[in-house]
Structure 1
Amino acid sequence: MKHSLKVYGTFALINVILVTLIISCGDKVILIPYPAPPGLTTSPDIKLTVDNKPVWVERAGSKLEKFDHDLGLYGGRRLEDMDAAGFAFEGKVKLRITASEKIEKFVIRPKSLNIKAKVRDNQIIFSLTSPAKLYIEINNLPHLAIFADAPEINPLYESGDGVTYFGPGEHRPGKIVLTSNHSIYIAAGAIVYADIMGQDLSDVKIRGRGMLQGTIRVTGTTNLHVNDIFIKNTRGWTNTLINCRNSSYRNVKVFSFEGIYGLDGINPVSSKNFTIDNCFMRCRDDCVAIKSPDYNLSVDSVYVTNCVMVGWSCSDGITLGFELNGGPVQNVVVKNCDILYARGGGRTEGHSGFSIVCDGPATIQNILFEDIRVEEQVEFKNLELIVTPGTYYGNDPPGHIKNIKMKNVSWENATKPFILNGLSAENMVGNITFENCTIGGKVLRSLSDADFRINEFTGNIVFLP
C-alpha cells in the first residue's frame, strides 16, 4: 500500500542548507549550523561561533517559579533553563563561547572527553575534531548543551513516497498517528508541536535535525527507528516504547522540564532487541528506564551505548525498574556512557548513578555495565541493586536479581554509598561482579574500599582485577 506524501512548510530547507553549508576544500572542513525555528527564545547569556560563523543558541526554558528545592528545584529558577545549540561538521573546527559576564568558573562535560579550553575574560575557546555532545557549566548561568553532529546521511529536501515532511518553520498538528512503512521527517529549522503515537506497526522512521515539542508513544511495533531529532517535553514519559522489537534510537536529544517528576527520557518497556545509541538526555526523572510491567511480556537484548545522561532531578542516569512485573529481564548491556548528574529523592530514599530496582516478580539477570563514567554530581547513591516487597507500583510478589557485572566503571564521588539489598533468602541479590572498577580514583578490591551497605540477603560479591 502506498502512502501519499504530506509536506508541512515549504522547501525552504534547500535555501537554508545552501546558505549555511560552509565548505573549506583545502582544510576539508564542512560546517552546517542549524537554523532557528520561529517563535523560540534566543539565549540572552550565551553566543556561539564555530570557525567564526554564528550558531544559534536557544534558551530552552521551563516555568518552575512556583516550585521550591524540596520539589527538585536545584540552583534556583535560573538553572532550570538550559541553553542549547546544534550544528553538523566534518574536520577540525574552533568553538568560541561568549558569555554575558566574565567567566569565573566553568566545566566542560563529559570530563572523559578531556577537552582543553582557553579562557579569555568572557570567552571559552576550544576545538573539536569529531562529533560530541557537550554539557558546559559557566558561572551560575543556565547550562549549555552543544550538539556537534556528524553531517546528516540522506537528508530530505523534497517530497517522496511515504513521508510526512515538516520543513523549516512552526507546525502544530497536535497529534500524529503513525502507519506502517512510513517516515516522519523534521528538518533542521522546524519545530513541531505534537504527540506522535502508533500501535501494531512495522518499518517506521522518525528522523531529521529539527525539534519535536511533545512525546512519542509506540506499542507493538517492529523496526521503529528514531534518529537525530531534539525532543522537548513537559508531560509524562518523553519516549514510551512498549513491546517494540528490532528498534533503535540514535543521536536523539531529550530535554524534559517543567514537571516535578515522571518525565523520563527514553523508556523501552517490555521490548526486545532495542538499541539506544549516541543519545543525550537531561531529564526530570530517569534518563533511561527499562521496565517490564506486562505479566505476559519480558525484556531481552536491550543495548544502551555511547550516551550522555544528565539526571537533573528525581533521576538516575539509567535504571532497570521499578515496574518489573513480567517475565525475565535479561541480556541488557550498558556500555561507554557518561552519567553527569543523578539527583533527587524517590521511593527508595534517593536516586543513584544507575540502579536495578526489582519491584515485582521478575528475574533480573545477565546485566552488564561496562565503561561507565559516573561524575561527581551524585546526590544520594552511586549504585543501587535492590529487591523490594513488590508493592511500590502494584501488589505483586517480589523478584530476583542475579548475575550482574560492572566492568571498567568509575564513580568519581567517593562519599556516596553503594546499596545492595535482597529481600529474603528466596529473593536475593546475588552473583555481583566488580571488575576493574574505581571509586574516587581508587580501585575497588573489596567491600572496605567504599561505603557498601549490604544486608544478609546479598551474596557472592566478587571483585576482580
Structure 2
Amino acid sequence: MDNDLKRPLLILSSCYVAPRSKGETYYFRKGQIYNVGNLELKSGESAYLEEGCVVCGRIYSNMADNVRVSGNGILYGGVWHKPDENGGRLMASFYLGKHILVEGISVVDNGVWNVVPGACRDVIIRDVNIMSRLVTGDGIDIVGCEEVLVEDCFIRACDDCVCIKACALPGPAACCNVRDIKVRRCVLWNAEPGNALEIGYELRCNEVSDVVFEDCDIIHCEYEGNQSGGVLTIHNADRAKVHNVRYENIRIEDAQEKLVDIKILDCKYSLDRVRGDVENIVFRNIDVTGPLFPVSIIRGFEMTNEMHRPRDIRFENVTVQGRTMHSANEMRMVVELAHELQFEGRVTLEKPEY
C-alpha cells in the first residue's frame, strides 16, 4: 500500500488441509517449533504440518513413491544460511519418484531452491505458499519431470518463481526429457533476479514439450538488469528442443523489465556443445495492465556451423495498457535471427539470412 516492495505485508488465505484418516508418518503439531535437520520420506510415507507449527530443516525423498507433504504449517529454511547470504539445501526435494503430493504448506526463507521435483512423474503441488528473499531462492523448479500439476500457489521469489529445467539437481537422472507440465491459477511475485514463468536455462535433455501456463496473475516482475529478467521467458542454453508451449489467460500488473524473452544462446550456464531449438509457442489472452510498457526480445543463435532460429511463435489477443498488439513493432519487440511470428492471424515473416 505504501509502494515499498522491500517490506511487504503478505496476507495469505489457504484452504484447510486435513490429515489423512489412516494417519500420518510424521505429525508436526500446532504451537510447536521443530528442528528436523534432513527428514527423508520413504515410499508410502507422509509428513503433516499442522497449522501453527514451524518445521526447521528440509523434507525430501530419494527413489520413493506415493510421498505426501501436506498441512497448513510452515517449513522454514532460515536455519540453512546466514541471514543475508544465500546458501543451504533444497527445502522440499523429491528425486526419482512417482505420485508425489505437496499441498497447503508455506515454505519460508530458504537460501536456495524451495520446492524441487527432479526426475519424477505424477507430481501435484497445490495451494503452496513460497516466500524467499535471497538470490537463487527459486520458488518451484520442475527438473526433468513428466506429468506435473502446479495450481493455486502463491510465490514471492527472489529468483525464478516457476522454472522448468533438465539438469543434475537434485541428481544426474534429472537430465531427462520434460513433458506434460501444467501451471494454473497461481499468483506470482518475481523480485529482482530471475523470471516469473521460466523455461531454462539448464535444458540438458532432448525435449521439453507440452507445457501450459494458464490463468495466472503476475503482480510484480521487478527489474533485474541482466540478460534474463522477464515475465514469460524461454532461455534455451543447451541442446533441448522446446516446443508445444502455451501461455494463456495471464494477467500482468507490474512488469519492470521484459514481457516476453525468448533466447537461444551460449552462456555461463551452458554445458552441451550444441544449441537446441524453440518452436510452436503460443501467447493467448495476455493482459498487461500496469503503468509500464515492457519491451520483448526474441533472439536466435548462429555460428559458423550452427544455426537455430525460434519459429512458429503466435500472439493472440495480447493487450498492453488496453491496446491489442498486432505486430512486433507495436509490442516493442526486438527480433533477431527469428522468423514465423504471427499476430492475431497476421504473419510477420523475417526471411533467413544465409
TM-score band by shorter chain is 0.7 to 0.9
Unaligned runs of 5+ in 2: 78-90, 169-173, 346-354
1-structure distance, mates of 2:233, 2:289: 16
Partner in structure 1 of residue 157 of structure 2? 283
Q: Secondary structure at the match of 1:354?
A: strand
Q: Secondary structure at the match of 2:329?
A: helix
Taking every aligned residue pair, what percent have the same amino acid on both sides? 24
Is the 1:362–1:400 contact (alpha carbons within 8 Å) kept by the matching residues of 2? yes
Partner in structure 2 of residue 464 of structure 1? 344
Q: Does 1:154 align with 2:34?
A: no
Q: Secondary structure at the match of 1:360?
A: coil
Partner in structure 2 of residue 223 of structure 1? 99
CA shift for structure 1 position 198: 1.3
Q: What TM-score, normalized by structure 1, do the two folds share?
A: 0.66
Partner in structure 2 of residue 163 of structure 1? 25
CA shift for structure 1 position 297: 1.0
Q: How does 1:16-415 map to 2 (within 5 A)?
A: 106=1, 142-150=7-15, 152-155=16-19, 160-168=22-30, 169-214=32-77, 215-257=91-133, 259=134, 261-293=135-167, 297-345=176-224, 347-348=226-227, 350-376=228-254, 378-389=255-266, 391-413=268-290, 414-415=292-293
Partner in structure 1 of residue 301 of structure 2? 423
Q: Secondary structure at the match of 1:334?
A: strand
Q: Secondary structure at the match of 1:409?
A: strand
Partner in structure 1 of residue 87 of structure 2? none
2-structure distance, mates of 1:345, 1:140: 14
**Which residue identity does 1:297 align to in structure 2?**
C
CA shift for structure 1 position 426: 2.8
CA shift for structure 1 position 390: 5.4
**Which residue identity does 2:308 align to in structure 1?**
N
Q: Secondary structure at the match of 1:143?
A: coil
2-structure distance, mates of 1:233, 1:241: 19
CA shift for structure 1 position 369: 0.1
Task: Flag the 1:233–1:393 CA change in 2: closer, same or farther, 3 A.
Answer: farther
2-structure distance, mates of 1:187, 1:202: 23
The one of 445, 448, 460 equivalent to 2:326 is: 445
Is the 2:18–2:71 contact (alpha carbons within 8 Å) kept by the matching residues of 1? no
Q: Secondary structure at the match of 1:420?
A: strand
User: Comparing 389-398 with 277-286, which one deviates more in the overlay?
Assistant: 389-398
Is the 2:17–2:71 contact (alpha carbons within 8 Å) kept by the matching residues of 1? no
1-structure distance, mates of 2:215, 2:5: 29
CA shift for structure 1 position 162: 4.8
Is the 1:381–1:416 contact (alpha carbons within 8 Å) kept by the matching residues of 2? yes
2-structure distance, mates of 1:331, 1:407: 15
Task: Flag the 1:220–1:140 CA change in 2: closer, same or farther, 3 A.
Answer: closer
Unaligned runs of 5+ in 1: 1-105, 107-136
Give the length in aligned residue pairs: 322
CA shift for structure 1 position 412: 3.0
Q: Does 1:433 align with 2:314?
A: yes
Higher Cα radius of gyration: 1
**Which residue identity does 1:403 align to in structure 2?**
N
Superposed CA deviations along residues 14-35 of structure 1, whole A, max 9, x for unmatched, are: xxxxxxxxxxxxxxxxxxxxxx
When the two chains are superposed, the root-mean-square deviation of aligned CA atoms in Å is 2.0
CA shift for structure 1 position 344: 4.0
Q: Secondary structure at the match of 2:249?
A: strand
Q: Secondary structure at the match of 1:408?
A: strand
Q: What TM-score, normalized by structure 2, do the two folds share?
A: 0.86
**Which residue identity does 1:154 align to in structure 2?**
A
2-structure distance, mates of 1:390, 1:140: 30
**Which residue identity does 1:400 align to in structure 2?**
D
2-structure distance, mates of 1:141, 1:431: 39
Task: Flag the 1:360–1:155 CA change in 2: closer, same or farther, 3 A.
Answer: same
2-structure distance, mates of 1:187, 1:209: 6
Partner in structure 2 of residue 127 of structure 1? none
CA shift for structure 1 position 217: 1.4
